[in-house]
Each structure stands twice: as C-alpha cells, then as structure tokens.
Amino acid sequence: MKVTIGTFNLNNLFSRYNFKGEISAIRDNDTGVDSDILYQFGTNDRFKIRSYRGSLVKKKAPSESQKVADRIKSMDVDILSVQEVEDIDTLHQFNRTTLNGMYPHVVLVEGNDPRLIDVGVLSKLPLGGITSWQRAVHPDEPGQTVFGRDLLEVQILNNTRSKILFTIFNNHLKSHFVDFREEQLTGESS
C-alpha cells in the first residue's frame, strides 16, 4: 500500500473567533491610560479570547488561509503533519471549511508552548494510538522538559483498522534564530 506523507507549518493558524463582534486590542500607550483591562462574559456568551503577551491574537485573514489551503490541496498527501495551530477546534474548522473536509481524521494535543501553538496530524487513513511527549524529561535534568512544544506520536492504521501501518512523529522545533549578519557586523566567524 502506497501512503504519501507531508508536513506543513500553518504559520499561526489561530481562530480567535468571536461570534458577536471583534474586540480591538487596547494598549496602554495607545490610550494614555495605565490600567488593566478585564473582559467578562456570561455563561451563555459565545466568545473565545486568548492573548499572547497582552495582545489579542486574531485569526489569519481568509485570503492567507486560502493560500495555505491551496498549497495543501496541491500536495494531496494521505497524511499531513501540521505545526502552529491554536487548538483542535481551529484545526477541525480549517479542515472542514478551508480544505473542504479533505481529511476525515484529525488529531491535536494541547502542547506547552507559551504562544499557544500546537502540532497536529490530518489523515485520510484511520488513526490508532496517540501519545503526547510534551512532559517528557531528560534523566540528567528531571526538572526540564525535553520538548519546548510537544512531540506528537500517532499510529496510522489501514482502512479496515486491522493493522498499524506505521507511526508518525510530529514536532515543531524552536529555531533559536541568530541573524547571520551578526557575524558580518562584529567581524567574527565560527
């Protein structure tokens, strides 16, 4: 059986949906007021608000989401590992509306990234066991997690769910980016 596999960084696929209106981020320097802002909602309100470093993070523009979806559709892989997704609801919504339900099997486990980005797997084949390694620690440093985000382990099954075809691991490593121009600016090289 031939199975195609791909990976795609969805680059901050956030829903941050709000069915009653949009709340603009308010910053102290914009208003001249030095205070905390508190949003309160009743139990029947349908809002979801999450912020990062004090700013409300909004969803990707529909045109940007469509570009990503078009690239994924052109890949047309059986199994797609994805990175930088807000949560499982967002991934289901993206699959259902933007990818037109291309993948019947979707998994995402909330990780431990402070930016609220997670990894997930979309699959045309059934999924088996799912393991998150987000809390794994190294024996030499038991107080420190190995993965700054998560390592998601997912079994891929055959169509009858009678056999494990393989196990896929999905991780989103942190770049620890250093500007290459720093060497040129300081005259140092490694």
Q: What is the pLDDT of residues 113-167, one digit of tens each?
A: 777 789 999 999 999 999 999 888 889 999 888 887 789 999 999 999 999 999 9
Whole-structure pTM over 0.85, yes or no? no
d(Cα 142, Cα 159) in Å, to the nearest integer?
A: 40
Do the beta carbons of residue 98 and residue 29 sit within 8 Å? no
Closest listed residue to residue 108, CA positions, set 174, 176, 172: 172
Closest listed residue to residue 127, CA positions, set 148, 154, 100: 154
Pairing relationship of beta strands 55-56 and 137-138 according to DSSP bridges: unpaired
Name the phi and psi angles at 73, rounded to 5: -60, -40
Domain ranges of the chain: 5-12+60-171
Q: Which CATH superfamily is domain 5-12+60-171 in?
A: Endonuclease/exonuclease/phosphatase (3.60.10.10)
Residues paired with 56 in a beta bridge: 51
